[in-house]
């Protein structure tokens, strides 16, 4: 894939994604010319107290970019840094959810920001080793990451005794095999250990029992890559207020939103938290072919779908999207125009979750199959009116009853699609039976009697 295809960076505040005008932004030279590695050098030379860095991150209001929005400043403070023995920092570059593609561009275009962020994380948490778990299909990003690490080792930015500080930090990449579940942090750890990628029960959390049973902190690629810029704070060293002020009350800074689907200019947009959705849509050139907006999934396929009127009122931040019925998730904005067949979309999404369930929990293993099969039946004209209630019943019985959040992620789209677009599902069932859904229901009751 070239730089001019889908993942072209369209607009940036230069925190995680480099300015598109920077030539070969992924090289050490380009990164250093733009302030790169200054933060790592300064914290190591000055031996900045780890609590000061944690406090800066807390002040910055950076929220985790992997989906749950948990603040890295707080997560980093959970690590028992004084504990004896090996500790690890692990980066989650698995990025397998439909609609997500921001971490791929960070790896391709700004890998040194991730390396620097992970090394700072290692220093703060007393971890001398880091792993970056990269999705198996990300061959080009993997090669860029490897090349950047080679440059960093040669320049003394990774390895032993960095900046004569006595701090050692080694980094390794690990290519996954393309399983979505390996993005779940404990399944990722299992996979890193060479086992089948299946989520662990929590607690214990990774900070207590992580990789190889040792204290481990896992963050998303964008979370780590944001750290150097937050510490540099545009020249006001360690002033967390700088990043915070770019965003809104409950979510600081800028975030990469990946816009895909029916827009004129799909791509990754690094914009201020709290930017109105309507502005983001405008940056992306609006709905393609002059069509009307029908619906948006604003945070990756796991978050609830929003009808056009709701999303046009919303801003791109955690509170606003929640108040309008959805979530930021991983920031993957899937745009659907007025011609979109919502039954078909949900059938496709359900197939994904059915395929990707790891099979450990019965509600998820069996329930995702039920959801897909019922949706397939409806979409292929064989649905019956009680299918819609069954769908909701199954989704409600999966939600909250599984080891990991994949079960919820399979249930939420079903609930939200039926909430907003039930008439489209009913119409397909009517088409199939030749009756209205009420007629079908009465017929079934009569048959049952």
Q: Point out which residues bind ligand FMN (CB under 6 A).
A: 64-68, 70, 72, 75, 92, 94-96, 180-181, 183-185, 218-220, 223, 404-406
364 binds, among ligand FMN, ligand SF4, none (CB under 5 to 8 A by kind): ligand SF4
68 binds, among ligand SF4, ligand FMN, none (CB under 5 to 8 A by kind): ligand FMN
Structure tokens at 109: 């275009």
Quickly tell me which residue has 């992970």 as its tokens. 118
How many angstroms separate the CA atoms of 259 and 309, rounded? 18
Which residue in 243, 272, 246 sits closest to 59, CA to CA? Answer: 243
Q: What DSSP state is assigned to residue 237?
A: T
Q: Around Cβ 46, how many Cβ atoms within 10 Å?
A: 12
Under rule CB under 6 A, residue 365 binds ligand SF4: yes
Q: What DSSP state is assigned to residue 337?
A: E
Sign of CA dihedral 13, 16, 17, 23: positive
Q: Is 95 or 151 the residue whose CB approaches ligand FMN more closely?
A: 95
Quickly tell me which residue has 């050490």 as its tokens. 28
Which residue in 266, 203, 274, 217 sits closest to 245, CA to CA? Answer: 274
How many angstroms separate the CA atoms of 198 and 437, rounded? 41
Strand order in the sheet with 129-134: 170-175, 129-134, 88-93, 216-220
359 binds, among ligand SF4, ligand FMN, none (CB under 5 to 8 A by kind): ligand SF4
Stretch that binds ligand SF4, among 27-35, 139-147, 339-347, 404-412 (CB under 6 A): 404-412
Cβ neighbours of residue 301 closer than 8 Å, sequence gap 6 or more: 97, 98, 99, 332, 334, 349, 352, 409, 413
365 binds, among ligand FMN, ligand SF4, none (CB under 5 to 8 A by kind): ligand SF4
- Is 94 within 8 Å of 188 (Cβ atoms)? yes
Question: Which residues between 196 and 225 bind ligand SF4 (CB under 6 A)?
Answer: 199
Binders of ligand SF4: how many residues, by CB under 6 A?
A: 14
Under rule CB under 6 A, residue 407 binds ligand SF4: yes
Stretch that binds ligand SF4, among 118-126, 234-242, 286-294, 360-368 (CB under 6 A): 360-368
Residue nearest to ligand FMN (CB): 183
Q: Is 125 or 343 the residue whose CB approaches ligand FMN more closely?
A: 125
The alpha carbon of 404 is separated from its chain's Cα centroid by a whole number of angstroms, namely 15
Q: Where are the alpha helices (DSSP H) in 399-436?
A: 406-433
- Report the length, in residues, of the chain: 449
Structure tokens at 162: 């960095």
Under rule CB under 6 A, residue 92 binds ligand SF4: no
Under rule CB under 6 A, residue 364 binds ligand SF4: yes
Under rule CB under 6 A, residue 359 binds ligand SF4: yes
Query: What binding mask, one character per residue, do residues 171-190 give for ligand SF4 by CB under 6 A, x or -?
Result: ----------x---------
Under rule CB under 6 A, residue 360 binds ligand SF4: yes
Under rule CB under 6 A, residue 297 binds ligand SF4: no
66 binds, among ligand FMN, ligand SF4, none (CB under 5 to 8 A by kind): ligand FMN
Under rule CB under 6 A, residue 371 binds ligand SF4: no
Stretch that binds ligand SF4, among 35-43, 73-81, 374-382, 402-410 (CB under 6 A): 402-410
CB of 372 to ligand SF4, least distance (A): 14
Q: Where are the alpha helices (DSSP H) in 61-138?
A: 72-77, 102-109, 111-125
357 binds, among ligand SF4, ligand FMN, none (CB under 5 to 8 A by kind): ligand SF4
How many angstroms separate the CA atoms of 226 and 14, rounded? 10
Under rule CB under 6 A, residue 332 binds ligand SF4: no
Under rule CB under 6 A, residue 406 binds ligand SF4: yes
Q: Where are the alpha helices (DSSP H) in 253-303?
A: 277-283
Q: Is 14 or 216 the residue whose CB approaches ligand FMN more closely?
A: 216
Positions that interact with ligand SF4 (CB under 6 A): 181, 199, 357-361, 364-365, 402-404, 406-407
């Amino acid at each position: 894939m070239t730089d001019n295809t889908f993942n072209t960076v369209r607009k940036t505040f230069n925190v995680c994604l480099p300015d598109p005008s920077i030539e070969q932004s992924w090289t050490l030279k380009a990164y250093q010319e733009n302030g790169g590695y200054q933060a790592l050098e300064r914290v190591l030379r000055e031996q900045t107290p780890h609590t000061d860095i944690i406090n800066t991150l807390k002040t910055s209001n950076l929220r985790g970019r992997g989906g749950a929005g948990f603040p890295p400043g707080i997560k980093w403070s959970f690590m028992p840094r004084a504990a004896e023995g090996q500790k690890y920092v692990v980066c989650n570059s698995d990025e397998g959810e439909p609609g997500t593609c921001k971490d791929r561009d960070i790896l391709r275009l700004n890998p040194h920001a991730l390396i620097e962020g992970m090394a700072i994380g290692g220093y703060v948490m007393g971890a001398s080793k880091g792993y970056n778990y990269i999705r198996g299909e990300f061959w080009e990003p993997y090669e860029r990451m490897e090349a950047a690490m080679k440059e960093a080792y040669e320049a003394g930015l990774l390895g032993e005794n960095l900046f004569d500080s006595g701090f050692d930090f080694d980094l390794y990449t690990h290519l996954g095999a393309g399983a979505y579940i390996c993005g779940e942090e404990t399944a990722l750890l299992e996979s890193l250990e060479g086992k089948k990628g299946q989520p662990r029960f929590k607690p214990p959390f990774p900070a207590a029992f992580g990789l190889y049973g040792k204290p481990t902190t896992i963050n998303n690629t964008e979370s780590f890559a944001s750290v150097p810029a937050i510490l540099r704070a545009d020249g006001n060293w360690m002033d967390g207020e700088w990043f915070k002020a770019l965003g809104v009350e409950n979510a600081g800074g800028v975030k990469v939103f990946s816009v895909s689907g029916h827009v004129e200019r799909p791509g990754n947009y690094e914009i201020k938290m709290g930017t109105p959705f309507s502005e983001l849509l405008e940056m992306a050139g609006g709905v393609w072919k002059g069509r009307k907006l029908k619906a948006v999934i604003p945070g990756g396929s796991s978050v609830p779908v929003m009808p056009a009127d709701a999303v046009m009122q919303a801003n791109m931040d955690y509170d606003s999207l929640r108040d309008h019925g959805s979530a930021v998730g991983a920031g993957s904005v899937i745009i659907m125009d007025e011609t979109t067949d919502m039954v078909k979309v949900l059938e496709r999404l359900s197939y994904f979750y059915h395929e990707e369930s790891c099979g450990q929990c019965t509600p998820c293993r069996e329930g995702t199959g039920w959801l897909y099969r019922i949706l397939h039946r409806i979409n292929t004209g064989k649905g019956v009116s009680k299918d819609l209630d069954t769908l909701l019943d199954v989704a409600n019985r999966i939600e909250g009853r599984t080891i990991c959040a994949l079960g919820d992620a399979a249930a939420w789209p079903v609930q939200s699609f039926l909430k907003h677009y039930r008439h489209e599902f009913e119409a397909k069932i009517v088409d199939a039976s030749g009756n209205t859904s009420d007629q079908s229901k009465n017929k079934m009751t009569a048959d049952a009697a």
